[in-house]
Chains A and B, each alone.
Chain A
């Protein structure tokens, strides 16, 4: 490819070009897309009311067979259908909570680094306090405060993620703030919001995307963890962590009850993480192999 055509393409096209050459990225992306498709078309694959949550005493604890690919659980529900519907929960927790926390972190970080001084200090000290408690403990506290449930879980995961994102984005935003084009924009009469959103944010876009992909897996795992200990999603909703937790009682005789939800969690987390790593390398090839 010659230099001229390289130059004519935007940064994102270039990133995509690099990603496409990376086999690992393409495999993880396909797995991820498959999971997304499953989540989107879950209702077409299995009816929620008739299959996913309807108990069926006649078919309880069946091993994987032609009718029930992944077997059935202690209430006779098809595990395959529950995993497909569980993907919805996992993605909602993973992406929903991540996007909320990254957005909040982005705003806090930009405000802190733009205004500096007292504003910066107050925001960052609050973040330090939140950061000094492990994220899981914060989510636990919020979940037990708000009660078990889906939106409570998302709130808990979002809040727990904010300090990390604020820190990470702020350190990058500070670097961008030091650039002369920020001062130049101000000298041209740009308003504060316009300096932040149209001059700062696009220049830290790559770090934001990397932050999102690296947190999605963490949030899926944390959500599963919280559901596992009974603080997250309430039964009978299909959730992978919850399925694991109910499967532990039958684990020795019916291992399929924990194996398949476990595989679902691992596969999702692994593909998101791998894709995130590849994306980071694609954004900045110089970073490859480091960190």
Chain B
């Protein structure tokens, strides 16, 4: 594919609170080309949002320590100054947050809030330009421009999320990070928001990182997927590879797909993955998934598996390493 936009190299993030160190993200490697859509899936607490905030260098200043590099257009954002970051944020990378209900400031009209971003990044241009851009972007997300004088509480959840998307897209960013953009919305609104995001993505050629729990959404929307578990990427690759059940997979991914009820088959009970994700403050030795893994071997308890490429996608599991050797 095209040019490389974002490259995450060996990223680790630790949070320290009261002397307890939580390993939120461990040695993550990711690449994203221009215009590509990457889905990051994983349980709550797998480090998805931390990775996303890392890309914007918005991790809490006093509690988070980072190692590794995040290169955006060749610039390491983790070491960039606050001034440089303020230029990148909003203009080159923007983010849509999980809860549209609380992501808009209740004291300003939506037009004002969209205009603010445009103004920050187009200081030399005048009022008319800002106004025009606000109208344009509101029309783009399907909200009548005359509603820009209304306050966030005048809008429904789905419309607020569309306004958030409008704010995120106002400066034509090269990278859009969508952190569970549909979690707070009901299913019909989800479909609207996603189809709108997709058509906008095609139109503007923005690269997207979609963070979600929803595998169906990933299958629909993304080019690539990375599955995170305990701060690691345990499997990643092209969408066809991950969703192809004949391919070898990480046991966690098998479990994830296994826990989705099939519409064609009658199921009395769902089949979840037994157990919980390990506490990031005391990660197990060896493979982080071994306490829950049905195929756990002795080597899994002591040695961390290497990432290997099987059938064009990356898996971090001893079973696959074995197969490679065999």
Contacts and interface: CB of A to CB of B under 8 A. Distances in A.
13 contacts: A116-B62, A184-B97, A184-B167, A185-B105, A187-B58, A188-B90, A189-B86, A189-B88, A189-B91, A190-B86, A191-B86, A191-B120, A202-B108
A49 interface: no
Given A184-B164, A188-B117, A205-B107, 10 more contacts: A11-B107, A115-B61, A180-B103, A181-B102, A181-B105, A186-B56, A189-B117, A190-B86, A203-B105, A203-B107
Interface residues of A, number: 25
A106 B192 CA distance: 43
B82 interface: yes
B61 A116 contact: yes
B99 interface: yes
A186 B58 contact: yes
B89 A188 contact: yes
A183 B58 contact: yes
Contacts of A11: 107
Contacts of A205: 107
Nearest to A192: B82
A119 to B, nearest CB: 9
A184 B103 CA distance: 6
A-B pairs, 4 with minimum CB distance: A189-B90, A117-B62, A188-B90, A189-B89
Contacts of A179: 102
A193 to B, nearest CB: 11
Interface of A: 7, 11, 115-118, 179-181, 183-192, 194, 198-199, 202-203, 205
Contacts of B88: 189
| Interface residue tally on B, bucketed by range | 20 to 34
A33 B82 CA distance: 48
B27 to A, nearest CB: 25
Interface of B: 56, 58, 60-62, 82, 85-91, 94-95, 97-99, 102-108, 116-117, 120-121, 153-154, 164, 167-168
B95 A184 contact: yes
B315 to A, nearest CB: 32
**Chain A binding surface, main DSSP class:** helix
A266 B72 CA distance: 65
Contact of B106 (A118, A187, A203): A203
Contact of A199 (B90, B105, B121): B105
Contact of B102 (A180, A198, A202): A180
Contacts of A117: 61-62
A191 B168 CA distance: 16
A183 B120 contact: no
Contact of A180 (B87, B99, B121): B99
B82 A189 contact: no
Given A181-B103, A202-B107, A203-B105, A189 B62 contact: no
A202 B95 CA distance: 23
A117 B63 CA distance: 9
A109 to B, nearest CB: 18
B120 A189 contact: yes
Contacts of A7: 153-154
Contacts of B105: 181, 185, 199, 202-203
Contacts of B117: 188-189
Given A117-B61, A180-B97, A183-B58, A189 B87 contact: yes
